[in-house]
Chain A
Amino acid sequence: MVNSNYDGKGTYLIFNVGDTIFISDFNSQDKDPIKSIHFSNSNPVCHAFDPEAKDGHDLLIGLSSGDVYSVSLRQQLQDVGKKLVGAQHYNKDASINNSRCTSVAWVPEGDGSFVVAHADGNLYVYEKSKDGAGDSSFPVIKDQTQFSVSHARSSKSNPIARWHIFQGSINSIAFSTDGTYLATVGRDGYLRVYDYSKEQLICGGKSYYGALLCCAWSGDGKYILTGGEDDLVQVWSMEDRKVVAWGEGHNSWVSGVAFDPYWSPPTSDDTGENVMYRFGSIGQDTQLLLWDLAMDEIVVPLRRCPPGGSPTFSSGSQSSHWDNSICPVGTLQPAPSMRDVPKLSPLVAHRVHADPLSGLIFTQESVLTACREGHMKIWMRPGYSENQSSNSEALLSSSSKEKPLLSSKVGGSTYKG
Chain B
Amino acid sequence: MGAAGSKLEKALGDQFPEGERYFGLENFGNTCYCNSVLQALYFCVPFREQLLEYYADNKNIGDVEENLLTCLADLFTQISSQKKKTGVIAPKRFVQRLKKQNELFRSYMHQKEARAAKSDPGTSSPSEKTANGPKNAQANGVSKEPLVTWVHKNFQGILTNETRCLRCETVTARDETFFDLSLDIEQNSSITSCLKNFSSTETLNAEDKFFCDKCCSLQEAQKRMKIKKPPHILVIHLKRFKYIEQLGRYKKLSYRVVFPLELKLSNTVEDADSEYSLFAVVVHVGSGPNHGHYVSLVKSHNHWLFFDDENVEMIDESAVQTFFGSAQEYSSNTDHGYILFYESLASSDKS
Q: Any chain A CB within 8 A of the CB of B208?
A: no
Please determine whether A251 and B328 come into contact, CB atoms closer than 8 angstroms. Answer: no
Q: How far is it, in angstroms, between the C-alpha of A215 and the C-alpha of B190 when the chains are bound?
A: 20
CB contacts (< 8 Å) of B145 on chain A: these are none
Contacts A209-B263, A210-B262 given; indicate if A284 touches B318 (C-beta within 8 A): no
- CB 8 Å contact bits of B76-100 with A (1 = contact, 0 = none): 0000000000000000000000000
Contacts A209-B275, A231-B190 given; indicate if A189 touches B321 (C-beta within 8 A): no
Contact of A252 among B258, B261, B263, B275 (CB under 8 A): B258
Contacts A208-B264, A251-B186, A355-B328 given; indicate if A337 touches B271 (C-beta within 8 A): yes
CB contacts (< 8 Å) of A189 on chain B: these are 262
Contacts A230-B264, A231-B193 given; indicate if A307 touches B269 (C-beta within 8 A): yes
- CB 8 Å contact bits of B257-297 with A (1 = contact, 0 = none): 01011111010011101010000000000000000000000
CB contacts (< 8 Å) of B188 on chain A: these are 251-252, 284-286, 355-356
Name the residue of chain A whose CB is nearest to the CB of B321: A407
**B240 nearest CB across to chain A (Å):** 17
Q: Any chain B CB within 8 A of the CB of A338?
A: yes
Residue from the set A229, A372, A373 with the largest chain B CB neighbour count within 10 Å: A229
Please determine whether A284 and B262 come into contact, CB atoms closer than 8 angstroms. Answer: no
Q: Any chain A CB within 8 A of the CB of B322?
A: yes
Please determine whether B271 and A252 come into contact, CB atoms closer than 8 angstroms. Answer: no
**B140 nearest CB across to chain A (Å):** 37
CB contacts (< 8 Å) of A318 on chain B: these are 273
- CB 8 Å contact bits of A324-346 with B (1 = contact, 0 = none): 00000000000101110000000
**A166 nearest CB across to chain B (Å):** 14
Q: Any chain B CB within 8 A of the CB of A169?
A: yes
Please determine whether B322 and A406 come into contact, CB atoms closer than 8 angstroms. Answer: yes
Contacts A253-B190, A285-B189, A338-B266 given; indicate if A356 touches B261 (C-beta within 8 A): no
Q: Any chain B CB within 8 A of the CB of A272?
A: no
Residue from the set A209, A231, A337, A373 with the largest chain B CB neighbour count within 10 Å: A209
Please determine whether A252 and B190 come into contact, CB atoms closer than 8 angstroms. Answer: yes
Please determine whether A306 and B263 come into contact, CB atoms closer than 8 angstroms. Answer: no
CB contacts (< 8 Å) of B275 on chain A: these are 209, 335
Q: Any chain A CB within 8 A of the CB of B168?
A: no
**A206 nearest CB across to chain B (Å):** 10
CB contacts (< 8 Å) of A250 on chain B: these are 193
**A172 nearest CB across to chain B (Å):** 15
**B96 nearest CB across to chain A (Å):** 41
Q: How far is it, in angstroms, between the C-alpha of A231 and the C-alpha of B327 when the chains are bound?
A: 17
Contact of B262 among A169, A209, A338, A354 (CB under 8 A): A209
Please determine whether B322 and A210 come into contact, CB atoms closer than 8 angstroms. Answer: no
Q: Any chain A CB within 8 A of the CB of B132?
A: no
Q: Any chain B CB within 8 A of the CB of A245?
A: no
Q: How far is it, in angstroms, between the C-alpha of A119 and the C-alpha of B260 when the chains are bound?
A: 17
Q: How far is it, in angstroms, between the C-alpha of A133 and the C-alpha of B123 when the chains are bound?
A: 59
Q: How far is it, in angstroms, between the C-alpha of A210 and the C-alpha of B345 when the chains are bound?
A: 13
Contacts A209-B264, A355-B327 given; indicate if A284 touches B269 (C-beta within 8 A): no
Q: Any chain B CB within 8 A of the CB of A211?
A: yes
CB contacts (< 8 Å) of B328 on chain A: these are 354-355, 373
Q: How far is it, in angstroms, between the C-alpha of A406 and the C-alpha of B327 when the chains are bound?
A: 12
**A202 nearest CB across to chain B (Å):** 25
Please determine whether A209 and B260 come into contact, CB atoms closer than 8 angstroms. Answer: yes
Q: Any chain A CB within 8 A of the CB of B199?
A: no
CB contacts (< 8 Å) of B262 on chain A: these are 189, 209-210, 229
CB contacts (< 8 Å) of A229 on chain B: these are 190, 258, 260-262
Contact of A210 among B263, B266, B273 (CB under 8 A): B263
Please determine whether A230 and B322 come into contact, CB atoms closer than 8 angstroms. Answer: no
Q: How far is it, in angstroms, between the C-alpha of A284 and the C-alpha of B255 when the chains are bound?
A: 12
Q: Any chain A CB within 8 A of the CB of B192?
A: yes
CB contacts under 8 Å to A, within B153-199, are 186, 188-190, 192-193
- CB 8 Å contact bits of B240-259 with A (1 = contact, 0 = none): 00000000000000001010
CB contacts (< 8 Å) of B266 on chain A: these are 338
CB contacts (< 8 Å) of B189 on chain A: these are 251-252, 285
**B232 nearest CB across to chain A (Å):** 17
**B339 nearest CB across to chain A (Å):** 19
Contact of A285 among B193, B271, B321 (CB under 8 A): B193
**A404 nearest CB across to chain B (Å):** 9
**A133 nearest CB across to chain B (Å):** 31
Please determine whether B193 and A252 come into contact, CB atoms closer than 8 angstroms. Answer: yes
Contacts A230-B192, A285-B189 given; indicate if A356 touches B264 (C-beta within 8 A): no
Contact of A356 among B256, B263, B322 (CB under 8 A): B256
Name the residue of chain B whose CB is nearest to the CB of A337: B273
Please determine whether A284 and B258 come into contact, CB atoms closer than 8 angstroms. Answer: yes
**B299 nearest CB across to chain A (Å):** 14
Name the residue of chain B whose CB is nearest to the CB of A229: B260
CB contacts (< 8 Å) of B260 on chain A: these are 209-211, 229-230, 253
- CB 8 Å contact bits of A349-372 with B (1 = contact, 0 = none): 000001110000000000000001
CB contacts (< 8 Å) of B193 on chain A: these are 231, 250-252, 285
Q: How far is it, in angstroms, between the C-alpha of A208 and the C-alpha of B321 when the chains are bound?
A: 20
- CB 8 Å contact bits of A181-212 with B (1 = contact, 0 = none): 00000000100000000000000000011110
Q: How far is it, in angstroms, between the C-alpha of A227 and the C-alpha of B132 when the chains are bound?
A: 36
**B162 nearest CB across to chain A (Å):** 10
Please determine whether B190 and A251 come into contact, CB atoms closer than 8 angstroms. Answer: yes
Name the residue of chain A whose CB is nearest to the CB of B272: A338
CB contacts (< 8 Å) of B321 on chain A: these are 406-407
Please determine whether B190 and A169 come into contact, CB atoms closer than 8 angstroms. Answer: no
Please determine whether B271 and A253 come into contact, CB atoms closer than 8 angstroms. Answer: no
Q: How far is it, in angstroms, between the C-alpha of A16 and the C-alpha of B254 when the chains are bound?
A: 27
Q: How far is it, in angstroms, between the C-alpha of A356 and the C-alpha of B326 when the chains are bound?
A: 10
CB contacts (< 8 Å) of A339 on chain B: these are 271
Q: How far is it, in angstroms, between the C-alpha of A383 and the C-alpha of B190 when the chains are bound?
A: 36
Q: How far is it, in angstroms, between the C-alpha of A354 and the C-alpha of B318 when the chains are bound?
A: 24
Given contacts A231-B190, A355-B327, 16 further A-B contacts (CB under 8 A): A169-B318, A209-B260, A209-B264, A229-B262, A252-B189, A252-B190, A253-B260, A285-B190, A286-B188, A307-B270, A318-B273, A354-B327, A355-B188, A355-B328, A356-B256, A373-B327
Instruction: Provide a sorted-by-A list of 13 A–B residue pairs whose CB atoms are within 8 angstroms.
Output: A119-B318, A209-B262, A209-B264, A210-B260, A231-B192, A231-B193, A252-B188, A252-B258, A338-B264, A338-B266, A354-B327, A354-B328, A355-B328
A interface vs B, CB < 8 Å?
Answer: 119, 169, 189, 208-211, 229-231, 250-253, 284-286, 306-307, 318, 335, 337-339, 354-356, 372-373, 406-407
A-B pairs with lowest CB-CB distance, top 9: A210-B260, A229-B260, A251-B193, A252-B190, A209-B264, A209-B262, A355-B327, A251-B189, A231-B192
